Amino acid sequence: MQTIVFAGAGSMAEAMIQGWVKEGVVSPKSIHIMNKSDRQKLNRIANAHGVQIVSDSRDVVKVADCIILAMKPKDVIKGMEALAPLLQEHTAVLSVVAGISIATIENSLGKRPIARVMPNTSATIGMSASGISFNEQIDASLKQEFMTMLEAIGTVIEVEEDKLHAVTAVSGSGPAYLYYLVEAFEQAGVKYGLSREVVRSLAVQTIAGAAEMLKQSTEEPTELRRKVTSPGGTTEAGIKALEENHFKDAIMACIHDAEAKSRELAQSE
């Protein structure tokens, strides 16, 4: 793709831009950014990553190969209304907006190649976990192009569009849950005399190591946990405390509420 326009320049857009530029998948000269009104943010992103800012005339939108919808959900309908008169028939659309369906995008921008993807901000370092869905207008070649672009910034899995609500809840929001866990580790470690820096170093390596074990091992998480949990030992005591405090119920509630919020956003289109 020679010309890609980001409509919206929030954290997800910047994460994708940074990942693509860093991995050399897309030239920064091919990437153009625009948003509703925050020129200062556009300047910062352009200076940081070497991408281009869309001019007030928006001429580049008229020749774009792909428009990436990256606005806030509340802004996307008005944003698409402004874009619709500018797009060529061949222009593809990739949406990273939570809860906004392909049908809604088609209603606003017409029948054209459209994909919805839910990455996460780990795209910045090439480690996003993304789910993607396509409409019928996307041919095999374009589908592969999108998959290649997203694989360059992490893992991408094609799912039915309705399942993107769950993807949003599990991996789209997932990094925030893990950061929250590290916050809790830090607070607990400090309480028992460790410095915050020491706890963070230990927690980060522990999470990274466990993630790599899950990635490399053929064993189920239950079995890996069992191997760490010696009868009568410290891990067993900790797991018991998690069970008594309904840890799994809290995780289920977390995913349920995030998935429900994604569906709510879809219904309020």
Residue range 1-56, pLDDT digits in tens: 889 999 999 989 999 999 999 889 899 999 999 998 889 999 999 999 999 999 98
Q: Strand, coil or helix: what is 184?
A: helix
How many Cα atoms are found within 13 Å in the side-chain-facing hemisphere of 141?
2
Q: What phi, psi does 25 have (nearest 5°)?
A: -80, -40
- Is 145 in contact with 176 (CB distance < 8 Å)? no
pLDDT value at residue 267: 79
- For residue 269, what pLDDT band results from cuts at 50, 70 and 90? low
pLDDT digits (tens, 9 = 90+) for 131-145: 999 999 999 999 999
Model pTM score: 0.87
Q: How far apart are CA 256 and CA 203, in angstroms?
A: 26
